[in-house]
Structure 1
Amino acid sequence: MVLNAEITEKSFGSKVLMSNIRLNVDDGEKIGVIGRNGIGKSTLFGLLTGADKDFSGEIIYRRGAVLASTQQEYSDVGEQNVLEFILNDLPEYSQLHHLITELPLTMGDDLAQIEKYSDALERFQQKNFHFIEEKIIGELANFSLAGFESKKMNQLSGGQKRLADTIKIIYSQADLALVDEPTNFMDYAAKDRFLDWMKSTKGAVLVITHDRDVLKQVDKIIELRDGETVAFSGNYDAYLKQNAFSTTNKMSDYESIQRRIVNLRQKTREYQRMKERARDPGTIQRFKRLENNARAELSQLEGVKKPTFWIDKEHVENLDYKAAKSYEKFKARNVKISVDNSTEKSRRSLVRSEKLALGYGELVDTIEGKNGAKMLFENLNFDLKVGGIIELHGRNGAGKSSLIKAILHPDSPASPSIYNGEIQIDPNVVIGEYTQEITPEFFKTSLKAAVEKVYLDQNLEISETKLRQILHQYLFNEGDFDLPIARLSGGQKARFQLIKMLSSDPNLLILDEPTSHLDLPSIEELESALKKYSGAVFFVSHDEYFRQAMKKTDKDYRVVEIGER
């Protein structure tokens, strides 16, 4: 066993976030960590890495175990370039490299120093560090970071920093790797590489993720639920089956408790009436004792918090009538995504392109041909009609986001240039956009004010009542309303983006990796809403489960390939 953790309490002020966390990780075990957004998954990793020591409990690692983890913040990367960032954080690399580089310059005939150098050199070879720089530089291409080895980390986007951090994990040779949401910014090639590493590495991997492609490859799933950990053996498919079974049993137990509470309340009233009517002291004492016992049990049962009940829709359909009725009554709140599901008979084109060539910079005719510009792609053709779906497929950097910019903001200086062909957009189209990054104009604005701004900027009516209703519909509570957008969690930001996208009742949705920061129930709700949606969908996603869900709709589904596969 490489890790044994028991956390009896982790609090923020008066709020208890965790109270019964038990986590055991065996050598080489691959474990997925899941849970609703805001439940404390990243907080748990902070405890496990030692970054947060403010808790009650015990965390024990096997003696000598090497631990590697992705960072939660990248504010301290300084002036390091990408290669230095990866190498400097590899366990033992910096120390060994320093010894074998510096000792030959100073050791002379000192036998102790010579032995120290020899030991360091042997260990360096054991760790296969001799050609590590070349390997990492080659690896960068798998993560769409080719040529980035000398680029400063502080010049990278948040997603690129996470990719560089993941490469560091891959080369850490750790006994236990803690990886937080690694695939959010990966394309299909990078994800395949990550999954190949995760399956083949001899070390254990603990990965926070709601990426079902990753969860399908794990040995065990740990779910954080109601401040506790619940373990499920097997991968994602096994989890869904076990979760449906255990949740059904827990619902039955909870329903029994609720029936007992009703019964005890009735009994306490009856005992109280009988006590008041009685004249015999012995009888009075007997009913008083029965009333006190009933009240004590009632108080204990009323203190039982309602557990979080969630079962995926496929398994809900297989519940018997009684269990299905109980689930409908007790199921956990989820985001409620409302989309236009009216039927439009028209099959008009909303967005189409013909022989489109897109890039940045100005094309200049020279003897050698067209120079002075970076061509992203050319000869791109598509026609997205009402009720249709287009999946935009390609590697990071191929031009997917640039095409979306050209559609959404054709006149913006930041948008790419059209070198050939054209993009035709229906004048009556109403576009709802979901992106991974929130525009900076919202960063310092409170959540409530930001949602209000979204509506007012589009000249849409928004009352105080409607504003609160929308926020509650997307699982925000009163304590979230005044938080600046920049301080929201990844999942909360994703829910804000959904509100923003759907605010104008669009007939065309443009989605850029929509499942990346959502938890499993929210992803399921999004997929269900899109299946009912009557408008057109233009999306980018490297979530294979999401792609298959979109293919199974009754819509006209097409894949538009950008760049080389």
Structure 2
Amino acid sequence: MILAVNHIEKSYGIDTILENITFHIEEREKTAIVGVNGAGKTTLFRILTGEISADGGDVFLKKETTMGYMAQNQQIESSRTIYEEMLSVFEKILTAEVRLREIENEMTHLSGKELSDMMEDYASLQHEFEQNDGYSYKSRLKGVLKGLGFGEDEFDRPLSQLSGGQKTRVYLGKLLLSKPDLLLLDEPTNHLDIASIEWLEDFLKTYDGSVLIISHDRYFLDKIVTKVVEIENRKSTVYNGNYTAYMNQKAINRDIQQKAYENQQRELKRQEEVIRTLKAFNREKSIKRAESREKQLEKTERIDRPDSLPSHMRLTLTPRIISGSDVLHAEELSKSYGGQRIFRHVNLDIKRGETVAIIGPNGVGKSTLFKMLLGEVPSDSGLMRFGTNVHVGYYDQEQQKLDSNKTIFDEISDTYPTLTAGEIRNMLAAFVFTEDDVFKQVSSLSGGEKGRVSLAKIMLSKANLLMLDEPTNHLDMFSKEVLEDALNRYEGTVVYISHDRYFINKTAQIILELSPEGITRYEGNYDYYMEKKAERARKEALLAAEQPVKGAAPAPVQTMTDTKSDWLKQKEQQAAERKLAAKIAKVEKAIEETEAAIAKADEDMAAASSDYAKAQEIFEEKTKLEEKLEELYEEWEGLHA
């Protein structure tokens, strides 16, 4: 065990934030802390790092354990470049490297015992240098930077020129390279695109230390964690398994607890009625029996009513009128800034009722494309048009459409002046703004609160085309589920930008992958997209492997002057190529079978959701299959190396 948290309590004034937080983490374990916005997750992290003190309880950290902490918006103030800042992690290695070069120079001028002593020092220092990965630190550094979305052309950019999100990524990179025994990561995927999130998943899955993660990225948590600590109503509950297992077990536990409570309440009422009846007989024997029953009733251990669930927003999206069948059309759109092309050859054809997700790496121009379609940014070329009776509702990830000088109430009433005060209050209550909350200044709101205000305005707009830029950013998991349900019931058209793979999987019917050379269309959700990408990669790899054999010039007719050894070498080469092709085919077949088995496990797990023991057994088998699939992919890559 590397960390134990026992009965942690924390209050601010009369507001109790944490009341009874208890859990532990084993070495190399990957654990998630989940809960609604405001549940106290970040407060707990600050207690664990010693930034603030708890009012009660204990935190035990294994002796000599190193801890690394990344806050949500971790900033770095430095005059160094990205590469120089990352290099600072390896200060000890760099010092040792300099000293090794110095010793090498000094040894050229020594002999005898002096040389022998210095050679011993050199051997000792070199061993320490090797133990600290002294020969691989540069490749590790570059690998982490590239994994987090920085190209080599950005390595020399000064930190002073970076955005807040980019600085947070640099800090995360430094933290990963420093390899602490315990990593605390608060929303690590917030500023990453899908490719970088997938890289971080692979990194953390094989990380030698323990990891404690706060995240609303459900797909990410499903891939990484094996334990979930939920903070709800100021208390903690521990669930074994990933995010999906936690949600299934939470629903089962709550149902069991609710039924047990209701059954006991019925039995208590029945006993009380029997006691009243016995007393009403007013006979000595019946009164004694009533008293006996009362004593038994007093000894009964009462089951607590399940805590009420935290308030969640309620969202209903209804278009005012139906649009024409053709909603949005664009041809050959392109955009450049300062002579540098962002994208070109972008073509869109979106029909009524479609839910379309636009994905792509950071910097490829997804938000720029949205602003071009909305007429906020001019296009360099191409044409675009909206269809008949199309009314757009736009969700801006930066929330720039909100007036920071207004209150929440005024933001709604000024936009929709025909609404009465009561109607506005009722509507805001559906978005968890009650009583005096409605008079909060927009400037004082958290990212999640601003997101709820923006969604409230979109709901009131009754638009029939929703254009949403990163709508799940800052929303907690429960609010995301509400938004998913609302979009799936919506009768209009939806186009959104997102890197939330779970959200995309639940809502998208079409995925448009944006690249500098245009858009690739996939007719399905995120799982379908990943399947098609993998299928394409396999075909390309197989084609590349076959190319030298198929494309080779016909072998010249052997002459009597060819040596036997040349002929044998040729035969050996052909045999090796056939053997390699057979191995590749075998591994690819195993990959397909394993993927099918994982899909079957998903179906079985869903069917067995009411039987937790069976579901857990299937989940463990699925985990083994996923590990096997990872090994098969590594083997496949090795065969193509």
TM (norm. structure 1) is 0.76
Q: Is 1:505 aligned to 2:462, yes or no?
A: yes
Out of 388-397 and 258-267, give the one that drifted further: 258-267
Q: Is 1:355 aligned to 2:360, yes or no?
A: no
1:523 to 480, 503, 520: 480
Counterparts of residues 92-241 of structure 1 (less than 5 Å): 93-94=90-91, 97=94, 123-129=128-134, 132-133=137-138, 135-146=140-151, 147-217=153-223, 218-241=225-248
Equivalents in 2 of 1:212, 1:174: separation in Å? Answer: 25
Q: Which AA in structure 2 matches 1:544?
A: R
The aligned residue for residue 334 of structure 1 is 312
Query: Residues 36 and 104 of structure 1: is their aligned pair in 2 closer, same or farther, counting only changes over 3 Å?
Result: same
Q: Which AA in structure 1 matches 2:515?
A: I
The aligned residue for residue 354 of structure 2 is 388
The aligned residue for residue 548 of structure 1 is 505
Q: Which AA in structure 1 matches 2:380?
A: Y
Cα drift, residue 56 of structure 1: 1.4
> In structure 1, the residue corresponding to 2:454 is in which secondary structure?
helix
Deviations 1:378-420 (A, max 9, x none): 111112232122221211111111101112243xxxx3x4222
Equivalents in 1 of 2:418, 2:274: separation in Å? Answer: 52
Deviations 1:200-225 (A, max 9, x none): 11111111112121121221111112
Equivalents in 2 of 1:478, 1:341: separation in Å? Answer: 29
Counterparts of residues 294-333 of structure 1 (less than 5 Å): 306-309=306-309, 333=311
The aligned residue for residue 452 of structure 1 is 410
Cα drift, residue 155 of structure 1: 3.9
The aligned residue for residue 448 of structure 2 is 491
Paired residues of 2:5 and 2:58 also in contact (CA < 8 A): yes
Deviations 1:236-255 (A, max 9, x none): 23223212221111212343
Equivalents in 1 of 2:72, 2:38: separation in Å? Answer: 15
Query: Residues 380 and 162 of structure 1: is their aligned pair in 2 closer, same or farther, counting only changes over 3 Å?
Result: same
Cα drift, residue 537 of structure 1: 0.8
Counterparts of residues 245-264 of structure 1 (less than 5 Å): 245-256=252-263, 259=266
Q: Number of aligned pairs?
A: 504
Structure 1 unmatched ranges of 5 or more: 310-331, 362-372
> In structure 1, the residue corresponding to 2:461 is in which secondary structure?
coil
> In structure 1, the residue corresponding to 2:230 is in which secondary structure?
strand
Query: Residues 156 and 525 of structure 1: is their aligned pair in 2 closer, same or farther, counting only changes over 3 Å?
Result: same
The aligned residue for residue 62 of structure 1 is 62
- Larger radius of gyration, structure 1 or 2? 2
> In structure 1, the residue corresponding to 2:178 is in which secondary structure?
coil
Cα drift, residue 465 of structure 1: 1.6
Query: Residues 558 and 30 of structure 1: is their aligned pair in 2 closer, same or farther, counting only changes over 3 Å?
Result: closer
> In structure 2, the residue corresponding to 1:418 is in which secondary structure?
coil
The aligned residue for residue 423 of structure 1 is 384
Cα drift, residue 158 of structure 1: 3.3
Equivalents in 1 of 2:472, 2:6: separation in Å? Answer: 31
Query: Residues 135 and 63 of structure 1: is their aligned pair in 2 closer, same or farther, counting only changes over 3 Å?
Result: same
Query: Residues 26 and 99 of structure 1: is their aligned pair in 2 closer, same or farther, counting only changes over 3 Å?
Result: same
> In structure 2, the residue corresponding to 1:406 is in which secondary structure?
helix
1:533 to 467, 477, 490: 490
- The alignment-based identity, stated in percent, is 29
Cα drift, residue 128 of structure 1: 2.1
> In structure 2, the residue corresponding to 1:514 is in which secondary structure?
coil
Cα drift, residue 452 of structure 1: 2.5
Deviations 1:457-502 (A, max 9, x none): x454333222222221112343533444344334323322322333
The aligned residue for residue 514 of structure 2 is 561
Equivalents in 2 of 1:500, 1:119: separation in Å? Answer: 67
Structure 2 unmatched ranges of 5 or more: 107-113, 521-641
Equivalents in 1 of 2:204, 2:259: separation in Å? Answer: 38
Q: Which AA in structure 2 matches 1:358?
A: K
Cα drift, residue 435 of structure 1: 3.0
Paired residues of 1:37 and 1:519 also in contact (CA < 8 A): yes
The aligned residue for residue 319 of structure 1 is none
Paired residues of 2:216 and 2:475 also in contact (CA < 8 A): yes
> In structure 2, the residue corresponding to 1:358 is in which secondary structure?
strand
Query: Residues 28 and 137 of structure 1: is their aligned pair in 2 closer, same or farther, counting only changes over 3 Å?
Result: same
Which is richer in helix?
A: 2
Equivalents in 1 of 2:242, 2:74: separation in Å? Answer: 31
Q: Which AA in structure 2 matches 1:355?
A: E
Counterparts of residues 18-57 of structure 1 (less than 5 Å): 18-57=18-57
> In structure 2, the residue corresponding to 1:346 is in which secondary structure?
coil
Out of 228-237 and 421-430, give the one that drifted further: 421-430
Counterparts of residues 359-438 of structure 1 (less than 5 Å): 359-361=336-338, 373-410=339-376, 415=377, 417-426=378-387, 428-438=389-399
Q: Which AA in structure 2 matches 1:159?
A: G
Cα drift, residue 529 of structure 1: 0.8
Query: Residues 288 and 244 of structure 1: is their aligned pair in 2 closer, same or farther, counting only changes over 3 Å?
Result: closer
Paired residues of 2:34 and 2:231 also in contact (CA < 8 A): yes
The aligned residue for residue 461 of structure 1 is 418
Cα drift, residue 84 of structure 1: 4.8
Paired residues of 1:267 and 1:291 also in contact (CA < 8 A): no
Q: CA RMSD in A?
A: 4.1
Deviations 1:330-371 (A, max 9, x none): xx542111101688373132x22111112224xxxxxxxxxx
Equivalents in 1 of 2:95, 2:420: separation in Å? Answer: 64
Cα drift, residue 308 of structure 1: 3.9
Q: Which AA in structure 2 matches 1:247?
A: R
> In structure 1, the residue corresponding to 2:8 is in which secondary structure?
strand
Equivalents in 1 of 2:134, 2:439: separation in Å? Answer: 50
Deviations 1:263-308 (A, max 9, x none): 799899x79xx99xx9x9xx99x999999999x999x979x67514
Equivalents in 2 of 1:9, 1:408: separation in Å? Answer: 49
Paired residues of 1:452 and 1:462 also in contact (CA < 8 A): no
Q: Which AA in structure 2 matches 1:437?
A: E
TM (norm. structure 2) is 0.68
Equivalents in 1 of 2:516, 2:488: separation in Å? Answer: 28
Paired residues of 2:326 and 2:352 also in contact (CA < 8 A): yes
Bigger RCO of structures 1 and 2 (CA < 8 A, at least 6 apart): 1
